[in-house]
Structure formats: structure tokens, C-alpha cells
Structure 1
Amino acid sequence: MKNLITTFCMLFISLSAFSQEIAYQEKKDMTYTSNGDAYSRERCKIDIYYPAGKKDFTTLIWFHGGGLTGGNKEIPDYLKNKGIAIVGVGYRLSPQVKVEDIIQDAADAVKWTFEHIAEYGGNMRKIALGGHSAGAYLSLMLGLNRSYLADRNISTEMLLGIASLSSQAITHFTARKEKGLTEFQPTVDELAPLFWVRKDAPPILLITGDRELEMVGRYEENAYLKRMLRLVGHPNVKLLELDGYDHGMTYPAYPLLLRELENWTKK
């Protein structure tokens, strides 16, 4: 027992020393859009949190949740001080703009990151997309429908992976609302990640809460997305269900996200 306690103490000291060796910096409210209207200038901003003095680090572009109707850019506390950079993205919201416009904003933020991350020491070949709920939906739409990034001269093959925490896989309920549909009228069209399944998409991590506690059909949507990706030959898609957790399952999911991010980086 004494040796075990000593081992844990040494591990704690080692981890503490590691965290102290790396200094982190944060820059806020940088505009990433070329749109000149006041609402775009207000919403289309990013914060970047990165390990200063470190080179070749991995970057996670993080899209916030809020149903595409609310929320603000964020850098989750749990993801800080983990040796990676996080780019927290703000975007315009419905009903001021359409869901298609919001996805375009997200694509512009990815373009900004590819063009500028090297200035902070990052590697443009180590950029992953991630988000919770509506943010996860944006990540999947960008990674599966290759046209959004292709229009910005970025191939989805350059993405390290997609970390989706409790996304909708069918057409987002806010997009359905634009057509006069309710959340209980499931639809799969061009604004559904499921519409764009393909075998050559980036690696994908899907995490949801407990199927009995999640929002309407959220686990089942993700299970179907995984199944369809496998059927078309996608080699690297993983689905995790967090038993006992509802839609706000971000903390149990964050460590799993970081582990998968490390796995992608090693390949």
C-alpha cells in the first residue's frame, strides 16, 4: 500500500509539473468573417486558447450549443491546459438568419483557423472539429458535406476528425421549423448530416447521453448515422452512450473526446 501511495504521489507531482511547464494564452473577439453587416460583426468572432511557446500542437475548433437560436462562443474549462489549442466560435443565430447561413459562418471560422493557426504554433494538419448539441451538428455538417469547406479551398481530408457531442443526425429542428415542421416530424434532407454519409469522411466520434434521458430521439439518430456510415464503408466511426446522463453530458464526454483526439493524432 505504501508503494502504491508513493506511485500516486509521484504521478500527481509529474502531472502538476507538466501543467506548469506549458504556459497558455488566450486571445478574444477576433473577427473571422468578411460580411460587413452589424449583426455579423457582433456574432462572427472567435476566441483562441493555445499553448504559448509550443509548436505543432493539435487544435480543436469548438462550436457552442443552443439550438442554433442561442448561446455564445465558449472554450470549455475542462479542455483547457491539455496541451491543445481550442478555437471557440461564435456564429449568427436563427431567426435572424437561416440555418444555411449559420453553417456558412461555421465554415468561415474553419477557414480562418486553417489560415492562421500556424501563427500561434499550431499545425494545420492537426485540426479537428467539435461541439455540443447544435455545435456538434455544425461540426458534422461541415465534415460530411464536403462542399462547405471545398468552397473555401479546404479538403475535409485535411481534418483530423469530428467530435460530436449529442448532435442531431437528421435535419436540425430549427431548419425544420423554417419549413413549418415540428420537432416530432423527422426529416432527412440536405440539412441533415445523415444525408451526406460517405466512406471517405474524416474519423468521427459520436457521444450521446442515455437514450432514455436524451432529447427527442438523439441516441437513435446517432446510432443510425453510425450504422449508415459503416454500411457505406467508413472505417473509423465510434458511438458512445453515457448511461445515466441526459443531454447535458459534456463533462463525462470531455475526457473521452480528448482520448480520441490523441488517438487521431497518433495515426
Structure 2
Amino acid sequence: MRYFVAFFLFVFSLLDVQAQELRYKEIQGIAYSSSKDSYVQKQCLLDFYYPEDKKDFTTLIWFHGGGLTSGNRAIPERLKGGDFAVVSVGYRFAPQVRVEDIIKDGAEAISWVMKNIANYGGNTQKVVIGGYSAGAYLALMLALRKEYLAVHSVDADQLLGVISCSGQAITHFTERQSRHIRDTQPIVDEMAPLYWVRNTPFPIMLMTGDRELEMLGRYEENAYLARMLKLCGHKDVKLLEFQGYDHGMLTPALPLVVRQLKEWEALRLTNSNQKSESTKK
């Protein structure tokens, strides 16, 4: 165990040194949809921040919050300079479109990344999807319900991981409101990540604020999702609760997002090396 820890400390030290030496570029307002609809052209854009001098980098696709009715795409400053790329996704809002249409926007954005990231030096086998609040809900739906990405010939199971910061695990409240269902009436149907729980091959990190301060049972939803994933046989699910923080838990969560990305990247490197040695034998 001592050598195992030492190895990871060595890898992280190399990543930190490399991050200090890298140059980064940001491209804003990339259209990821070919639709000619004016609302799609306005909303379905992404910002792309990546290390120019690194090859085979990890990419985090980030979905913003706002209840699926508002918000702006943005790359959090705390996610910059970490030797990985960040893609911030804009999407359409309810009630102009249905919640399922918004999820499909997210799938199309992920498809753009998978088809284009290698042109900038990225690796399609090292893509993580995540987000905050409504954005975390989108990430969970897209990862757990494989059909959304399959439409674009993308296999959700090739993801490196999923990070959810205070996302809903039950049917999103905006979807429930469209059906005239009150906020305090929990529903788990096809529009809920919990409905699609399965033993995914990629790790999942769930984070929420304090259960006594969060929105409408947000911690308990995530705790139930974590439990059901484990009962399905999932071996790598983390559930973190930021005590003392309400729904605005993103500030303390972002450093852990960065650390988790580096851990997953290092673990994948280790696994790849082990497979390569095994093949040689």
C-alpha cells in the first residue's frame, strides 16, 4: 500500500508541474448543432478551454445550473489550469422546449466533443461529464440512460467518469411543474436518473450540500441513488455531503472535482500500463 500511495503522489506531482508549464486556449461560442432553428442557434453553443501543449488530455464536459429554465454557460475559474480541457455547454430552456429536448441538446454536445476532441489533442476515452444542479441532472440522465447518446453513435459506457454537484436523482422539478405536480411530491419515472440505475463501468461521484440546508431532499435523493447503484453491483460510487453548505455548495466542491479528474486519469494510466504488460506476457 505504501508503494501504491507513493506512485500516485509521484504522478500527481508530475501533473502539477506540467500544468504550470502548459499554455491554454479558449474558444467561445462553438455551435454544436446543425439545426437552422433560431433558438437552437442562440442557445446550443459551447465554450472550449484546453491545453495547447498537451496530447491525450482528459476533457470535462460541464453543464451549468439554473433549473433548466435559465443560466449561462461558463467555465468556472477553479477548473482552469488543471492540465485538462473543459467544455461548457449551453442548452435550450423550458418552457420554450420540453425537458427531454434539453437532455437531447446535452447528448448532441457530447457527440460534438467525441467527434472533435482528438483534433485538439484530446482522448475520447478520457471524457468526463458533470455539472451543477440542473446541469448535474443532465449529466446523470445522459450517463445512465444510454439511448440519448446512442442516437449519436456514442457509447455512454466509454466515459471516464461522471461528477454530479447537487443534481436531482428523482424526476426534475421543472418536469414535474410542467405536469402540475407540486415540488414536495417526489416522482421517479423515465425522467429520473434513479429510474435508469445500472452497474456502469465508469465511476460516479455524487456531491450535495448539508442535508438540513439543501433543496427539497437533495441529499437523500443522492444517497438513495448511491445505494441503488451499489445494490446493482457498482464498485465505484462516492457520496459526499458538505456540512454547513446549502445548495450553493459548488465553491468547496470544485477543488474536489479537479482532484477527482486527476485521480481517474492516473488510475486509467495505471490500468492501461497493466493491460499493456499483460499483453506482452
Q: TM-score of the superposition, structure 2-length normalised?
A: 0.88
> Which segments of 5 or more consecutive residues in structure 2 lack a partner in the other structure?
1-13, 269-281
By how many angstroms is 1:90 displaced? 0.1
Letter in 1 for 2:141: M
2:10 corresponds in structure 1 to none
SS, match of residue 215 in structure 2: coil
**Runs of 4+, deviation exceeding 4 Å:** 14-20
Letter in 1 for 2:184: F
C-alpha distance in structure 2 between counterparts of 1:200 and 1:27, whole Å: 32
Write the mapping of 1:152-171 to structure 2, written as runs, cut at 5 A: 152-171=152-171
CA-to-aligned-CA distance 1:128-182 (integer Å, 9 cap, x gap): 0010000000000000001101111111111001000000000000011111111
1:177 corresponds in structure 2 to 177
Q: Is it true that 1:242 corresponds to 2:242 in the alignment?
A: yes
C-alpha distance in structure 2 between counterparts of 1:223 and 1:19, whole Å: 34
SS, match of residue 81 in structure 2: coil
> Which segments of 5 or more consecutive residues in structure 1 lack a partner in the other structure?
1-13
1:69–1:95: 8 Å Cα contact kept in structure 2?
A: yes
C-alpha distance in structure 2 between counterparts of 1:134 and 1:178, whole Å: 15
Write the mapping of 1:81-230 to structure 2, written as runs, cut at 5 A: 81-200=81-200, 202-230=202-230
Q: Is it true that 1:32 corresponds to 2:22 in the alignment?
A: no
SS, match of residue 233 in structure 2: coil
SS, match of residue 253 in structure 2: helix
CA-to-aligned-CA distance 1:32-68 (integer Å, 9 cap, x gap): 0122110000000000000012100000000000000
1:144–1:201: 8 Å Cα contact kept in structure 2?
A: no
C-alpha distance in structure 2 between counterparts of 1:118 and 1:251, whole Å: 31
Letter in 1 for 2:92: R
Letter in 2 for 1:50: Y
C-alpha distance in structure 2 between counterparts of 1:75 and 1:212, whole Å: 29
C-alpha distance in structure 2 between counterparts of 1:177 and 1:123, whole Å: 39
Letter in 2 for 1:164: S
C-alpha distance in structure 1 between counterparts of 2:104 and 2:78, whole Å: 28
C-alpha distance in structure 2 between counterparts of 1:22 and 1:58, whole Å: 14
Please, which moves more after superposition, 55-64 or 29-38?
29-38
The 3 A distance-change label for structure 1 pair 54 and 219 is same
Letter in 2 for 1:82: G
Write the mapping of 1:42-53 to structure 2, written as runs, cut at 5 A: 42-53=42-53
SS, match of residue 62 in structure 1: strand
Identity in percent:
57
SS, match of residue 160 in structure 2: strand
1:143–1:201: 8 Å Cα contact kept in structure 2?
A: no
C-alpha distance in structure 1 between counterparts of 2:227 and 2:140, whole Å: 15
Please, which moves more after superposition, 148-157 or 164-173?
148-157
Q: TM-score of the superposition, structure 1-length normalised?
A: 0.92
1:76 corresponds in structure 2 to 76
How many correspondences in the alignment?
254
Q: What is the alpha-carbon root mean square deviation over aligned residues?
A: 1.4
By how many angstroms is 1:263 displaced? 2.0
